Amino acid sequence: MTLPVTFVEVVAVDRITPRTARVTFEAAALADTVGTAPDQQLKLCFPRPGQSRPVLPAQQDDPMGWYQAYLAVPEAERPLLRSFTLRRRYPGTRRIEVDFVLHGDAGPAAAWALRAAPGDVLGLVGPSALYAPPVPFAEAAAEADWVLLAGDETALPAMATLLEALPEGVRAHAWIEVEDRAERRQLRSRAELEVRWLYRDGAAPGSALTGAFRDGVLPGGRPFVWLAGEAGAVRAVRRHLVGERGVPKERIDFTGYWRHRLTQDDAPTAEDLADAQERLAAAS
């Protein structure tokens, strides 16, 4: 199973909320299977200062070999990597959409998105079925009495694709932390969906989400919970669900997308490593 590596060119940039830019890319090459499933993870390669486009790692037949090829690129030329969720693929084309949360110039992705324009070029690694969950989301949801998807604005692209994949008859809840009311957007689903927007209004990231779980009422019955967003908040909510609400660990799919005051370039903390080990154990 080969992990795709290709260039993507910006076709359009749309500010869908004050703090979110949706960038439409045209890929130089794209497998037919890309965009056919929800929550497809990918990595974007950003150019180094002075480069008009990034230097990409060589394509590898080994799906895990791409990272060694990436490290083989001289450090001064090596692209900056950031993880995203594919928001949408235009059927029958090589055109895709990726949403960027605009949180200032602190990181390469947000800084690039603030200035992105048609004709700009990035690199794309993935998506790949290699990183699909062992139990498909729709299958796990079908076995539950109700489904809860919870996270912050970084989780919205994945959450939207998952909600769109749910069939009729599923009881679904979405609890979403954003900065303020201006960040709300329409979510579509065939499921019986109830959306709860949670506003930080200047408070610390994760505070509105963790507070909602601490004080909120959950339905009775057998749940399936999907959590994503700031790692510390995801960790706190998961511990609350297991320890205080009695939700079995295997009924929770969790991912820390980012870390408050840390970047993807910073070393993982002990808690990050523990989370990664538990996710690996659940997938085995």
| Helix, coil or strand: residue 64 | coil
Tens of pLDDT along 198-213?
A: 999 999 999 999 999 9
E strands present in 38-102: 41-46, 80-85, 88-89, 95-101
pLDDT at 63: 67
Cβ atoms of 245 and 215 closer than 8 Å: no
- Is residue 273 pLDDT above 80, yes or no? no
pTM confidence score: 0.89
- pLDDT mean over 62-75: 86
The structural domains of the chain, ordered by start, are 5-131 (2.40.30.10), 137-283 (3.40.50.80)
| Selected residue with higher pLDDT from 60 and 253 | 253
Q: What are phi and psi of 75, to 5 degrees?
A: -55, -40
Tens of pLDDT along 25-42?
A: 999 998 888 888 899 999
| Beta bridge partners of residue 96, listed in sequence order | 25, 89
Which contacts (CB < 8 Å, 24+ apart) does range 89-95 have?
Answer: 89/30, 89/34, 89/35, 89/36, 93/26, 94/26, 94/27, 94/28, 94/29, 94/30, 95/11, 95/24, 95/25, 95/26, 95/27
Q: Lowest-confidence range among 23-27, 75-79, 136-140, 264-268?
A: 264-268
Structure tokens at 136: 């498909």
| Beta bridge partners of residue 100, listed in sequence order | 21
State the sign of the Cα–Cα–Cα–Cα dihedral 160, 162, 167, 170.
negative
Q: Lowest-confidence range among 62-66, 247-251, 268-272?
A: 268-272
Token pair 């990272």 in the structure block, residue: 67
- Is residue 49 pLDDT above 60, yes or no? yes
